[in-house]
Amino acid sequence: MFDFDIDIHIKKLSIMKKIFTAFLFLTVAFVNAQGNTNEVEKHQFKANLLLTPGIEYEVGLNKKTTLDFRLGTGLIYVKSNDEEEYGVFLTFEGAYRYYYNFEKRARKGKKTSGNSANYIALTSLYTNLDPILGDIDINDSYLVQVGPVWGFQRTYNSGLNLGLDLGVGFASTDDYGIITPIVNFRLGWAFGK
Protein backbone atom coordinates (compact mmCIF):
# COMPACT_ATOMS: atom_id res chain seq x y z
CA MET A 1 0.00 0.00 0.00
CA PHE A 2 2.86 2.32 0.74
CA ASP A 3 4.31 1.81 -2.75
CA PHE A 4 0.90 2.54 -4.26
CA ASP A 5 0.70 5.93 -2.46
CA ILE A 6 4.18 6.91 -3.72
CA ASP A 7 3.21 5.95 -7.24
CA ILE A 8 0.07 8.17 -7.06
CA HIS A 9 2.11 11.10 -5.72
CA ILE A 10 4.68 10.72 -8.52
CA LYS A 11 1.89 10.71 -11.12
CA LYS A 12 0.36 13.83 -9.50
CA LEU A 13 3.76 15.54 -9.58
CA SER A 14 4.17 14.61 -13.24
CA ILE A 15 0.73 16.04 -14.09
CA MET A 16 1.47 19.20 -12.06
CA LYS A 17 4.79 19.62 -13.91
CA LYS A 18 2.93 19.39 -17.22
CA ILE A 19 0.31 21.90 -16.07
CA PHE A 20 3.01 24.26 -14.77
CA THR A 21 4.99 23.93 -18.03
CA ALA A 22 1.85 24.62 -20.09
CA PHE A 23 0.98 27.60 -17.86
CA LEU A 24 4.52 28.97 -18.19
CA PHE A 25 4.46 28.50 -21.97
CA LEU A 26 1.11 30.29 -22.31
CA THR A 27 2.28 33.13 -20.05
CA VAL A 28 5.45 33.65 -22.10
CA ALA A 29 3.43 33.48 -25.33
CA PHE A 30 0.95 36.07 -23.98
CA VAL A 31 3.69 38.46 -22.84
CA ASN A 32 5.52 38.04 -26.15
CA ALA A 33 2.29 38.70 -28.04
CA GLN A 34 1.93 42.00 -26.21
CA GLY A 35 5.20 43.21 -27.77
CA ASN A 36 4.67 41.61 -31.18
CA THR A 37 1.07 41.88 -32.22
CA ASN A 38 0.01 41.33 -35.80
CA GLU A 39 -2.60 44.04 -35.51
CA VAL A 40 -2.57 47.82 -35.45
CA GLU A 41 -3.00 49.68 -32.18
CA LYS A 42 -6.58 50.71 -31.41
CA HIS A 43 -5.40 54.21 -30.41
CA GLN A 44 -2.00 55.84 -30.56
CA PHE A 45 -1.13 59.45 -29.71
CA LYS A 46 2.15 60.97 -30.86
CA ALA A 47 3.94 64.26 -30.31
CA ASN A 48 6.29 65.18 -33.14
CA LEU A 49 8.96 67.48 -31.84
CA LEU A 50 11.69 68.00 -34.42
CA LEU A 51 11.61 69.76 -37.81
CA THR A 52 7.82 70.18 -38.00
CA PRO A 53 6.31 70.06 -34.50
CA GLY A 54 2.76 68.79 -34.12
CA ILE A 55 0.43 66.30 -32.49
CA GLU A 56 -0.86 63.15 -34.13
CA TYR A 57 -3.61 60.62 -33.42
CA GLU A 58 -3.80 57.24 -35.15
CA VAL A 59 -6.92 55.10 -34.71
CA GLY A 60 -7.17 51.45 -35.79
CA LEU A 61 -10.07 50.58 -38.08
CA ASN A 62 -9.41 46.84 -38.34
CA LYS A 63 -6.39 44.52 -38.02
CA LYS A 64 -4.28 46.22 -40.69
CA THR A 65 -5.72 49.69 -41.40
CA THR A 66 -5.71 53.00 -39.56
CA LEU A 67 -6.76 56.59 -39.95
CA ASP A 68 -4.01 59.01 -38.98
CA PHE A 69 -4.70 62.69 -38.19
CA ARG A 70 -2.02 65.30 -37.61
CA LEU A 71 -2.23 68.94 -36.59
CA GLY A 72 1.17 70.47 -36.99
CA THR A 73 3.41 72.89 -38.77
CA GLY A 74 5.03 73.09 -42.17
CA LEU A 75 7.98 75.08 -43.41
CA ILE A 76 8.53 76.80 -46.76
CA TYR A 77 11.97 78.19 -47.52
CA VAL A 78 12.73 80.04 -50.75
CA LYS A 79 16.05 81.45 -51.95
CA SER A 80 16.01 83.47 -55.16
CA ASN A 81 18.78 85.75 -56.36
CA ASP A 82 20.17 87.18 -53.12
CA GLU A 83 16.92 87.06 -51.17
CA GLU A 84 15.90 84.42 -48.65
CA GLU A 85 12.35 84.05 -47.37
CA TYR A 86 10.72 81.53 -45.09
CA GLY A 87 7.36 80.83 -43.52
CA VAL A 88 6.00 78.48 -40.89
CA PHE A 89 2.40 77.44 -41.48
CA LEU A 90 -0.24 75.49 -39.57
CA THR A 91 -1.12 72.24 -41.38
CA PHE A 92 -3.75 69.55 -41.08
CA GLU A 93 -2.94 66.11 -42.47
CA GLY A 94 -5.00 62.97 -42.75
CA ALA A 95 -4.09 59.52 -44.05
CA TYR A 96 -5.68 56.14 -44.58
CA ARG A 97 -2.91 53.57 -43.95
CA TYR A 98 -2.74 49.88 -44.82
CA TYR A 99 0.03 48.08 -42.89
CA TYR A 100 1.27 45.09 -44.86
CA ASN A 101 4.25 43.47 -43.11
CA PHE A 102 3.33 42.73 -39.49
CA GLU A 103 3.66 38.96 -39.98
CA LYS A 104 7.04 39.19 -41.72
CA ARG A 105 8.46 41.41 -38.96
CA ALA A 106 7.07 39.10 -36.25
CA ARG A 107 8.59 36.01 -37.93
CA LYS A 108 11.98 37.75 -37.85
CA GLY A 109 11.51 38.55 -34.15
CA LYS A 110 11.20 42.29 -34.80
CA LYS A 111 8.89 44.53 -32.80
CA THR A 112 5.45 45.24 -34.29
CA SER A 113 3.66 46.96 -31.40
CA GLY A 114 3.13 50.70 -31.72
CA ASN A 115 2.33 50.11 -35.42
CA SER A 116 6.00 49.37 -36.12
CA ALA A 117 5.59 48.23 -39.72
CA ASN A 118 5.55 49.39 -43.33
CA TYR A 119 2.43 50.72 -45.01
CA ILE A 120 0.93 52.16 -48.14
CA ALA A 121 -1.40 55.10 -47.67
CA LEU A 122 -3.52 57.75 -49.27
CA THR A 123 -2.50 60.99 -47.63
CA SER A 124 -3.89 64.52 -47.73
CA LEU A 125 -2.73 67.87 -46.43
CA TYR A 126 -4.39 71.26 -46.02
CA THR A 127 -2.65 74.46 -45.00
CA ASN A 128 -3.64 78.10 -44.85
CA LEU A 129 -0.81 80.00 -46.60
CA ASP A 130 -0.83 82.90 -44.15
CA PRO A 131 2.39 82.23 -42.17
CA ILE A 132 2.34 82.22 -38.37
CA LEU A 133 6.11 82.94 -38.43
CA GLY A 134 8.36 84.28 -41.15
CA ASP A 135 8.52 86.87 -43.86
CA ILE A 136 7.49 84.92 -46.96
CA ASP A 137 4.75 86.51 -49.06
CA ILE A 138 2.57 84.01 -50.92
CA ASN A 139 -0.20 85.20 -53.23
CA ASP A 140 -2.37 82.12 -52.67
CA SER A 141 -4.51 81.66 -49.57
CA TYR A 142 -4.41 77.85 -49.23
CA LEU A 143 -2.65 74.67 -50.36
CA VAL A 144 -4.28 71.25 -50.67
CA GLN A 145 -2.21 68.16 -51.47
CA VAL A 146 -3.40 64.57 -52.04
CA GLY A 147 -1.48 61.48 -53.08
CA PRO A 148 -0.41 57.89 -52.50
CA VAL A 149 2.67 57.19 -50.37
CA TRP A 150 4.79 54.32 -49.16
CA GLY A 151 5.88 54.71 -45.57
CA PHE A 152 7.14 53.12 -42.42
CA GLN A 153 6.77 53.75 -38.73
CA ARG A 154 8.85 52.45 -35.84
CA THR A 155 7.92 52.87 -32.19
CA TYR A 156 10.70 51.85 -29.81
CA ASN A 157 10.38 50.66 -26.19
CA SER A 158 11.41 54.12 -24.96
CA GLY A 159 8.40 55.61 -26.81
CA LEU A 160 10.59 57.19 -29.49
CA ASN A 161 8.58 57.24 -32.71
CA LEU A 162 10.10 57.53 -36.19
CA GLY A 163 8.12 57.80 -39.42
CA LEU A 164 8.70 58.50 -43.11
CA ASP A 165 6.32 58.90 -46.08
CA LEU A 166 7.48 58.99 -49.71
CA GLY A 167 5.23 59.42 -52.72
CA VAL A 168 3.91 61.63 -55.49
CA GLY A 169 0.79 63.73 -55.24
CA PHE A 170 -1.26 66.52 -56.70
CA ALA A 171 -1.08 69.95 -55.04
CA SER A 172 -3.55 72.75 -55.67
CA THR A 173 -3.78 76.41 -54.61
CA ASP A 174 -6.03 79.34 -55.57
CA ASP A 175 -4.20 79.74 -58.88
CA TYR A 176 -2.59 76.47 -59.97
CA GLY A 177 -2.28 72.72 -59.61
CA ILE A 178 0.91 70.69 -59.99
CA ILE A 179 2.27 67.17 -59.57
CA THR A 180 4.66 67.25 -56.61
CA PRO A 181 6.79 64.88 -54.53
CA ILE A 182 5.54 64.00 -51.05
CA VAL A 183 8.21 63.64 -48.37
CA ASN A 184 7.20 63.61 -44.70
CA PHE A 185 9.65 62.82 -41.91
CA ARG A 186 8.47 62.59 -38.30
CA LEU A 187 10.47 62.18 -35.11
CA GLY A 188 8.77 62.31 -31.73
CA TRP A 189 7.22 60.21 -28.97
CA ALA A 190 4.25 57.86 -28.88
CA PHE A 191 2.17 57.70 -25.71
CA GLY A 192 -1.22 56.63 -24.50
CA LYS A 193 -1.40 53.43 -26.58
pLDDT on residue 35: 45
Q: With 0-12 CB in 10 A as exposed, 13-18 as middle and 19+ as buried, what is 146?
A: middle
Q: How far apart are CA 69 and CA 118, in angstroms?
A: 18
Predicted TM-score (pTM) of the model is: 0.74
Quick: pLDDT tens for 154-190: 999 899 999 999 999 999 998 889 999 999 889 999 9
Distances in whole angstroms, Cα of residue 48 to Cα of each of 29, 68, 89, 186, 190: 33, 13, 15, 6, 9
Quick: pLDDT tens for 39-89: 899 999 999 987 779 999 999 999 999 999 999 998 888 888 888 899 999
Quick: pLDDT tens for 120-154: 999 999 998 889 999 888 888 899 999 999 999 99
Helical H runs in the chain?
A: 2-35, 102-107
Q: Could you tell me what percentage of the chain is helix, strand and coil, using 3-state DSSP and rounding each to the nearest 5?
A: 20, 55, 25
Rounded CA Rg of the chain:
25
CB 145 within 8 A of CB 169: yes
